[in-house]
């Protein structure tokens, strides 16, 4: 099993009216030449959590940290004007908190970070993830 040091939170950089999930992200990532969806989990607008890569597989979501992290992506993150925006639904917030709590039980030493914490200059995931560490 991989040693998990980070639980990395991402946004899909999609508008709030775009209900996308693993299938769409898998297609987008393959178009980039990747093997498939780079995230381990994707949270749809309605809060449903979809499994992307299994936790035993290395993700493709944050350069330099993929081998020791779990990647979670929520649908959204872009305002109507195209700017970064925390536009998570209440259902997404609840699902994210529950998923992180579950992962912290299995990986108690893992630190919850946003993509921007590991890759400065990124707005993703468009909110402060530090409260998820408690």
Query: Domain for residue 119, yes or no?
Result: yes
Q: Residue 71's closest CA among 89, 91, 51, 86? A: 51
CB atoms within 10 A of CB 31: 8
Residue 45 structural domain:
6-133
Tell me if residue 78 is catalytic: no
pLDDT tens string, the chain, 134 residues long: the values are 789 999 999 999 999 999 999 999 999 999 988 889 999 999 999 999 999 999 999 999 999 999 999 999 999 999 999 999 999 999 999 999 999 999 999 999 999 999 999 988 899 999 999 999 87
**CATH no. for residue 107?**
3.40.80.10
The pLDDT assigned to 27 comes to 95
Query: Domain for residue 102, yes or no?
Result: yes
Indicate which residue of 5, 93, 104, 122 is catalytic. 122
Query: Domain for residue 1, yes or no?
Result: no
Tell me if residue 126 is catalytic: no
Tell me if residue 115 is catalytic: yes
- Model confidence, pTM: 0.96
């Amino acid at each position: 099993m991989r040693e998990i040091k980070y639980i990395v939170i991402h946004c899909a950089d999609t508008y709030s009216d775009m209900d996308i999930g693993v299938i769409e992200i898998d297609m987008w990532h393959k178009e980039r030449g990747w093997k498939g969806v780079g995230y381990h989990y994707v949270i749809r607008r309605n809060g449903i959590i979809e499994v992307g890569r299994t936790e035993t597989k290395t993700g493709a979501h944050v350069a330099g940290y993929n081998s020791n992290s779990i990647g979670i992506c929520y649908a959204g993150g872009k305002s109507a004007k195209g700017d970064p925006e925390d536009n998570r639904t209440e259902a997404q917030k609840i699902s994210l908190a529950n998923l992180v709590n579950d992962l912290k039980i299995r990986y108690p030493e893992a630190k919850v970070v946003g993509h921007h914490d590991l890759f400065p200059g990124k707005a993703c995931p468009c909110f402060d993830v530090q409260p998820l560490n408690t």
